[in-house]
Structure 1
Amino acid sequence: MDAIKPASVKKSLNDFINEYQNKLSELFTERNEENELVNNRGLPPYVMRQILDCKPLSTFIPSEHGGRGAYTAEALTMLETTSYQSLPLSLMMGINGALFLQPLANYGHDQAQAEVFKRFILDNNMGGLMITEPDFGSDALKMQTGFSQKDQQGNYKIEGLKHWAGLTGWADYWLITARGMDNEGNLGRDIGFFVHDSSKGGIEVEEYYKNLGLLMLPYGKNRIDITVSEEYRLQPKSTGVKMMLDILHRSRLQFPGMSTGYLRRIMDEAIEHCRDRYVGGKSLFNYDQVKERLANLQSYFTVSSAMAYFTSTNVSMEKDTSKMDVAANSIKSVITDYMHEASQSLMQLVGAKGYRLDHIAGRSLVDSRPFQIFEGSNDILYQQISESVLKSMRKSKVNNLYHFLKDYSLTEHAADHFKDQLDFEVDYKMAQRKLVQLGRAIGRMVSLNMTIKLGESGFNSDLIANSIKSIKSEINGLVARYASEAQADIIDEYQPDSSWLQLMRT
């Protein structure tokens, strides 16, 4: 296999990242106008070719197949380097890595791995994942795409309709999900994953979507009618549903790779602007409200760094992440909330000129927003965090929230900061909105726990201290909201007496 390794794969991590970083800087700022690259749909072929020539996706490929070894820290470092320059490009790399290459490495047949990895290394191929369907987004387990029983040659027939798959029309390979179908056409409960070579046809793009942000990535609606051999079906270690959980959790756990570089860029842009911008005869940097926004941006970056450190030290390629739902859902939901809040703060600090698509503030606003939706809507993930914690509380027969969280591995270092606020018995029958509110608080406690652990490892102590203050203030507010009894309701028939004009006296 050494014969197919390009020179870039054999370099040290520092040399590899530095050369990749320099190439991105050259392509996005020196040879091209950055705004033209990120505000036009797609990427010029020569730009995409030179990016892939640096072999960034080799960080997701095992060494026996010509890659750099599929080390989590290397993959996250590559994503961080990419997202500092371009968040959409980082998402493109993340889709390829976490949602195609890693599942293939963990569950693929030797034959499929050998062919696909070789084409990624030598031919700069790309791959994506198709799960979502027009009528089944968050309710993925009810997908209608089905696969029929094998024929005499050992092939599967797969038919269905998928949409919102990143790299629509671009990917050389697709990982496609489907449910087993019996002879009567009834769909089963388990999920199958199939690797399909786009050059073999069978995937028709029915529509390209005019997505609001992330213009670099094509999205659309795809009609599936393909045949896949047994060697190109992923093999779960138990069930297909558990395999899907492992794939999705692993991807969510790696979001800090994309978020850390992005948040560093937003933080750098905001600090530079505030230092150079004078209002009322003094730099924006000297205004107290501005300082609060900048401190929050630094906190977001610090939390993201803590999450990246957690994933890199706890999630190897071989680790089964199917049961890491609380950690994965906390990381994904909290850090994507922070990403969008960071873009809102940069927009506020920059002012009117930031409200332009060709300014990084306006661009970041529309590019960061979908991160709160795809791979699990944050509202749903927060609810799932609460439900998972409550399930563990029942199992351990601990009803007091503080008593449970102080001994819970993901919050044990953070819980003591909130002893008074969390010292209450939980209501296992709480309303859905309460589950979401509690999940937001627990997710940030998990984040605080990771931040404390990062500080103990030697990270910048000033950033850690400020971040702890910021997260504690946020959690206090969330817990207070959760404890509040006031709950507004929807008024179905709101029209009567709802016109202010009718109240005016002639």
Structure 2
Amino acid sequence: MDFQRFLENYKAKLSNIFSESKDAQENTLLRGIEDETLQEILDLSPLASFIPSEYGGYGAHTAEALSMLEASSYESLPLSLMMGINGALFLQPIANYATEDVKKEIYDRVINSNKLGGLMITEPEYGSDALKMKTSYQKISEEEYKIKGTKHWGGLTGMADYWLITAREMSDNGDLGRDISFFIHDSRNGGIEVEEYYNNLGLYMLPYGKNNINIKVNEDHKLQPESTGVTMMLDLLHRSRLQFPGMGMGFLRRMMDEAVDHCKSRIVGGQSLIDYDQVKHRVSVIQSYFTVCSAMCTFTSTNVPLEKNTSRMDLEANTIKALVTDYMQRAAQSLLQLKGAMGYRLDSIAGRSVVDSRPFQIFEGSNDILYQQMSESVLKKMRKLKKQNLYEFLSEYHLTQRSSEYFSELLDFEVDPKMPQRKLVDLGKAIGRIISLEFTLNLGDQGFNKELIRNAVFVLEDEVNSIIQTYRTGGKSDIVLDYNIDSSWYKKLSTVNASS
């Protein structure tokens, strides 16, 4: 079966399961996914989108993988995340860094036996500070490693058939090395105990929890980096972040469709909701998010083939991940506002989307941290070129050459290389939107809907103007640690009344 025929069948199957089924709404309130339902989905081999053709896949073409994620997230954002975890965080690293025999065995079981894989990096004490992880490994023979530690928040906890696990080498005296290694663990071999399942706020389909690891892994199941393990981890994470628009694409299209359909049919004050100016504004902004995400999908599909090492694509990856996930949450919040009281139900597409999209701003790099890193990356490039004026740099930088012209006066200032963290975050938000405007303009060159492009440009301009204003004049507040002193309005009111 060719990919296009698969995609048509896949969309029809998901529509039947998640939209047309009588039990669809009730199923959204259940944790996990029924085995029968999951097997129906996996029988169509959606994960073959991530697998090279020589191993039975569709060819591992980036555009096709993103299209599969888009189809998944239109019907179910948690399902799309499940597919994304398997593809970007397991199957693609296997393709680039595993041995030939291991690839064949794993890909065969994924395609023909509906097996799933996941990734374990995060630890209870070392979330964003992953390089200080305490999970360790030691070589106990010529062909075997011993791995011990604790991991948590791994999607598909207790469910995955394979795990890609990170660890640091432990020396004989107990010291941990600075580099990171990746090991493939087959769950049939045991050794991973789920200590606790978490009651995650959203994404009910995916089980999360805390895992105690005490396993043995063969030498051939250790990934082989081209240089260092840290560089390999950057390649893995950047590639995954660059593919977030696939998950965002179907979700934003669904938010757009739901908003337009609801506002056309809902009558308020004797007229259709869609005729109110503020409603038009909300819907147009959701449409601009859809357009920007389309531009991101095009960028990733064009510039990130499977074989490309993405370890140096930090600015592109962080921009795409942070911005598209911010837009997913904003779109969900707007849909909820438009739907009103009925949207504030967990079994409503609006209420469910708010809680399901929120963690996307946190996992695989908290957006606040990513925005900061984007500013730091730009400042580093400016220092290297001995430039201090932001517009001068952006007007010559390949990701912002065209888009920076829209802000020639606004960005005509020298940046402070020693700015506080909150300023780095603000500047990163602006830079991310300027880069995204470049993507959007490029999408327009390819014949994409001109009105949608125009609206997206307007929204991005408004956002950059607002963010730069805050960056230049705002951010003056500070924390008050002794906030309990003189902070009871009632006591102050009583004192005033007593004195009068």
Aligned partners of 2:27, 2:226: CA distance in 1, in Å? Answer: 42
Aligned partners of 2:27, 2:360: CA distance in 1, in Å? Answer: 20
Percent identity over the alignment? Answer: 61
The answer as to whether partners of 1:39 and 1:216 remain within 8 angstroms in 2 is no
Aligned partners of 1:332, 1:36: CA distance in 2, in Å? Answer: 31
- For the residue of structure 1 that corresponds to 2:165, the secondary structure is strand
| Matching of residues 109-124 of structure 1 within 5 Å | 109-124=99-114
Offset at residue 485 of structure 1 (A) = 4.9
Offset at residue 486 of structure 1 (A) = 5.0
Q: What letter corresponds to residue 158 of structure 2 in structure 1?
A: G
The answer as to whether partners of 2:164 and 2:184 remain within 8 angstroms in 1 is yes
Q: What letter corresponds to residue 20 of structure 2 in structure 1?
A: E
The answer as to whether partners of 1:77 and 1:257 remain within 8 angstroms in 2 is yes
The answer as to whether partners of 1:330 and 1:446 remain within 8 angstroms in 2 is yes
Match of 2:44 in 1: 54
Aligned partners of 1:236, 1:181: CA distance in 2, in Å? Answer: 19
- For the residue of structure 2 that corresponds to 1:151, the secondary structure is strand
Q: What letter corresponds to residue 89 of structure 1 in structure 2?
A: L
Offset at residue 426 of structure 1 (A) = 0.7
Q: What letter corresponds to residue 338 of structure 2 in structure 1?
A: L
Match of 2:156 in 1: 167
Aligned partners of 1:76, 1:473: CA distance in 2, in Å? Answer: 29
1:144 aligns with 2:130: no
1:332 aligns with 2:283: no
Aligned partners of 2:401, 2:174: CA distance in 1, in Å? Answer: 50
Match of 1:451 in 2: 440
Match of 2:31 in 1: 41
1:296 aligns with 2:285: yes
Match of 1:462 in 2: 451
Match of 2:117 in 1: 127
Match of 2:406 in 1: 417
Aligned partners of 1:21, 1:342: CA distance in 2, in Å? Answer: 23
| Matching of residues 297-316 of structure 1 within 5 Å | 297-316=286-305
Aligned partners of 1:32, 1:74: CA distance in 2, in Å? Answer: 30
Match of 1:427 among 401, 416, 419: 416
Using the size of structure 2 for normalisation, the TM-score is 0.98
Q: Deviations over 1:297-347 (max 9, x none)?
A: 000000000000000000000101000000000000001000000010001
Q: Deviations over 1:465-502 (max 9, x none)?
A: 11100110011000110011551011111222211122
Aligned partners of 1:27, 1:370: CA distance in 2, in Å? Answer: 24
Aligned partners of 2:305, 2:94: CA distance in 1, in Å? Answer: 15
Q: What letter corresponds to residue 341 of structure 2 in structure 1?
A: A
Structure 1 residue ranges (4+ consecutive) displaced by more than 4 angstroms after TM superposition: none
Aligned partners of 1:416, 1:488: CA distance in 2, in Å? Answer: 32
Match of 1:378 among 360, 364, 367: 367
Match of 1:274 in 2: 263
| Matching of residues 201-350 of structure 1 within 5 Å | 201-350=190-339
Say how many residue pairs are matched: 495
1:408 aligns with 2:397: yes
Q: Deviations over 1:417-437 (max 9, x none)?
A: 001110001100000000000
The answer as to whether partners of 1:38 and 1:86 remain within 8 angstroms in 2 is no
Q: What letter corresponds to residue 331 of structure 2 in structure 1?
A: A
- For the residue of structure 1 that corresponds to 2:10, the secondary structure is helix
Match of 1:5 in 2: none
Using the size of structure 1 for normalisation, the TM-score is 0.97
Match of 1:103 among 93, 98, 101: 93
Aligned partners of 2:141, 2:371: CA distance in 1, in Å? Answer: 46
Match of 2:174 among 152, 164, 185: 185
- Structure 1, unmatched stretches of 5+, are 1-9
- Structure 2, unmatched stretches of 5+, are none
CA spacing shift, 1:21–1:485, aligned 2, 3 Å: closer
Aligned partners of 2:178, 2:25: CA distance in 1, in Å? Answer: 46
Aligned partners of 1:317, 1:479: CA distance in 2, in Å? Answer: 36
Offset at residue 28 of structure 1 (A) = 1.7
Match of 1:28 among 5, 9, 18: 18
Aligned partners of 1:205, 1:152: CA distance in 2, in Å? Answer: 27
The answer as to whether partners of 1:176 and 1:195 remain within 8 angstroms in 2 is yes
Match of 2:66 in 1: 76
Aligned partners of 2:196, 2:361: CA distance in 1, in Å? Answer: 24
CA spacing shift, 1:170–1:32, aligned 2, 3 Å: farther
Offset at residue 51 of structure 1 (A) = 0.2
The answer as to whether partners of 1:91 and 1:258 remain within 8 angstroms in 2 is yes
Q: What letter corresponds to residue 87 of structure 2 in structure 1?
A: G
Aligned partners of 2:201, 2:428: CA distance in 1, in Å? Answer: 29
